[in-house]
Amino acid sequence: MRVLAGVDAGSLAVRGEVAQPATVGVLVEPLAAGIRYRWDEANALLVRVEGRAPESRSAAAVFAGANAAVIDTAAGWELLQFRSATLVGDGLWRLNGLLRGQQGTEAVGAPSGATVVLLDPLPARVESFSAERGLPLVWRAGPAGGPAGGNGVSEVGFMSTGVHGRPWSPAHLKALARTDGGFDLAWIARARIDGDRWDGEAILPAASRFRVRVLDGPDHRRTFEVGTAAATYTAEALAADFPRGLEAGVRVAVAQWGNGYGWGTEASVSLSG
């Protein structure tokens, strides 16, 4: 199949070719929200698969990138990995031993009927340029060597939002109470490449810039920026924001800046217990 894209049907250009179909499936049971950064043994995918059968892999192979899949959720695609694949019916597989919310995605869960795409082996990539971020394009796919329209050609409208460049949420955000009544905030920045190394120091993004927001439920109280993975929410600022003291629902949210993208996904922590 050949994939084309352009701002309209008269300006389509070839963006790539697909030599084999992807393995797709549908969730037969809902997938609950799950934990991140460790094995999710409580949840499993019960999925009806069309295409290449999934396979069980060792934990080491999964850590090396094997058995990846994406699931269509209300928060966008969740990228996860699975360790075990068990055939439980005609084309029906149970995938468990999950690593959830990979590559900065969110592990919010998905309803029954959600689309699942297996990424092992990796599907073909098509060209999508950074200058096209936010630009609605016409995308078409049809038999290679054939016309860009007519029988056998499908069309969708799609606008790239550049999520591949979105900074990940900071990890291990903590708020430690100070003796003067304020809070010391600390977190770990995450990077897509060399953010976690076996030896030596992690390589952080070139521009270390973080936004700290103080929220009272849905209401915004204060915003400030820092250049390190730590900040102080002073007792004076807290008293100005909450003259009657902290109540339920008060939290701090921290986001990392990404050059060429903007503010990434926030991590949050409660200040009111």
**Which string of DSSP letters, residue by residue, matches 3-37?**
EEEESSGGG-EEEEE-SSPPEEEEESS-B----BS
Residues 207, 113 share a domain: no
Q: Where are the beta strands (DSSP E) in 55-205?
A: 68-73, 76-89, 92-102, 115-118, 136-142, 154-159, 171-177, 183-188
One-letter amino acid of 109? G
| Sign of the torsion formed by the C-alpha atoms of 5, 11, 16 and 18 | positive
Q: Return the H-helix or E-strand segment holding 238.
A: helix 235-241
Q: Return the H-helix or E-strand segment holding 47.
A: strand 45-50
Would the pTM count as exceeding 0.75?
no
Give pLDDT tens digits for 130-169.
889 899 999 999 999 888 988 899 999 999 888 778 888 8
Residues 52, 34 share a domain: yes
- Of 138, 163, 188, the position where a domain reaches its end is 163
142 bridge partner residues: 2
- Of 163, 184, 199, the position where a domain reaches its end is 163
Residues 79, 175 share a domain: no
Residues 185, 116 share a domain: no
Mean pLDDT, residues 60-84: 95
Residues 204, 221 share a domain: yes
**DSSP string across 81-118:** EEEEEEEEETTEEEEEEEEEEETT-----B-TT-EEEE
User: Which domain does 260 fall in, by range?
Assistant: 171-270
132 Cβ contact list (under 8 Å, min separation 6) = 160
Report the pLDDT value the prediction gives residue 125, as an integer from 0 to 100: 86
Residues 26, 136 share a domain: yes
Residue 21 pLDDT level (bands cut at 50, 70, 90) = confident
**Count of structural domains within the chain:** 2
Q: Return the H-helix or E-strand segment holding 236.
A: helix 235-241
What 3-state class would DSSP assign to 156? strand
Give pLDDT tens digits for 231-269.
999 999 999 999 999 989 999 999 999 888 889 989 999
167 bridge partner residues: none
| Sign of the torsion formed by the C-alpha atoms of 118, 119, 120 and 122 | positive
Residues 145, 201 share a domain: no
